[in-house]
Chain A
Amino acid sequence: MRKPALMLAALIGLYGLQILPALAVRPDEMLTDPKLEARARSIGKQLRCLVCQNESIDDSDADLAHDLRLLVRQRLLAGDSDAQVKQYLVDRYGDYVLLKPPFNADTLVLWLGPAGFFLLAVGGAVLFYRGRRGTGAEAAPVLSEDEIKRAKALLETDGEGDKA
């Protein structure tokens, strides 16, 4: 009973290997301190490679990405905090170097835009349906006795007309 389970585990393990992201971090870049290296990886994933623009510096094979990975490790070894390392690069390359844009005056539309559009849509829907209900009520005024009689007469003759 244990063998098939083992086989399954091995297969799942192999499948996992196959879908691992192709990291561009080279072995010779890595720091010997695993804690610092882990921090360098987490920072590297948040920084944009400015040459390829849609990859993090950890995923990119570009030369500049390689230099920036080394720089991140240099700063960490020098005792910088994660935030200081990121700020170091923002000072030189701007907010664009961060894959997750910060919330500030320049990115107001970016962050609040979707919520704004949602509110616009909800507002539009409310106005639309309220408008419809309004016209519905206007279209059904109360009929007087006389009018009801006339309507019934019309409906009856209409029904007979259909049968004929």
Chain B
Amino acid sequence: MRRIAFLPVVLFVVLAGFFAYRLLLIQRGDSPSFIPSVMINKPAPDFTLPPVFAGTPGFSSTAFKGRVTLVNFFASWCIPCRSEHALLSSLKGKGFQLVGVDYKDQPEAVKAWLAREGNPYDVLVADENGQTGINFGVYGVPESYLIDKQGRIRFKQTGPFTPEAIEKDLLPKVAELNK
């Protein structure tokens, strides 16, 4: 019966351990504002979007078939997208096509921005009202979705890519999907 006297201590240790665990996760980049995607391993939503630059091709979800694709939702008004931009340019020829979706943006604004910073995208389309974004489960920009040759979403990067995220998450996944 005396053992019950240790119960508060045990509870305290359990709680303290749990809090320490959560703090450690946050230190490693987890954040309460991060919402895990439910779209992983589900087919990418159907969509057809018009190009940003007249005369270039648009993009439709049927074009996922047969190629690994990275769909990058971004906008010229999005500050974190700028830090990601240079990294995206370094991804040419890494085994996937890069589709840029300009999310809720002014065509003139994004054209001016890309003219200044360079255009890393193989295909660049506009999601003017954000409907396609909602169908992907986008809740902020930038967000990127890696889609396999069968058109299923296999990986999501929430927030801007970092060099570590590209090395550790994206490229290994791309290699796996290209096998």
List chain A positions with a Cβ less than 8 A from chain B: 50-51, 53, 63-64, 67-68, 71, 90-94, 96, 124, 127-128, 131, 134
Contact = CB atoms under 8 A, between A and B. Distances in A.
Given A67-B129, A131-B4, A92 B134 contact: yes
A129 B135 CA distance: 58
B76 to A, nearest CB: 15
Contacts of A131: 1, 4
A92 B36 CA distance: 11
Given A50-B139, A51-B140, A53-B33, A94 B38 contact: yes
15 contacts: A50-B35, A51-B140, A63-B104, A67-B129, A67-B130, A67-B131, A90-B38, A92-B38, A92-B136, A92-B137, A93-B38, A94-B38, A96-B35, A127-B1, A134-B1
Contacts of A127: 1, 4
Contacts of A90: 38
Interface residues of B, number: 19
Main secondary structure of the interface of B (DSSP, over half): loop
Contacts of B56: none
B36 A94 contact: yes
Contact of B38 (A64, A68, A91, A134): A91
Most chain A CB atoms below 10 A, which of B1, B35, B39, B139? B139
Contact of B137 (A53, A93, A134): A93
B9 interface: no
A96 B137 CA distance: 12
Contact of A51 (B4, B37, B136, B139): B139
B115 interface: no
B39 A92 contact: yes
Nearest to B36: A94
B54 interface: no
Nearest to A94: B38
B36 A71 contact: no
Contacts of B104: 63
A118 to B, nearest CB: 14
B35 A67 contact: no
Contacts of B134: 67-68, 71, 92
Interface string B30-57: 0001011111000000000000000000
Contacts of B140: 50-51, 64
A44 B137 CA distance: 17
A145 B136 CA distance: 88
A128 B4 contact: yes
A72 to B, nearest CB: 11
A98 to B, nearest CB: 12
B79 to A, nearest CB: 15
A67 B129 CA distance: 8
A61 B130 CA distance: 16
Contacts of A134: 1
Contacts of A64: 130, 139-140
B4 A92 contact: no
Nearest to B5: A128
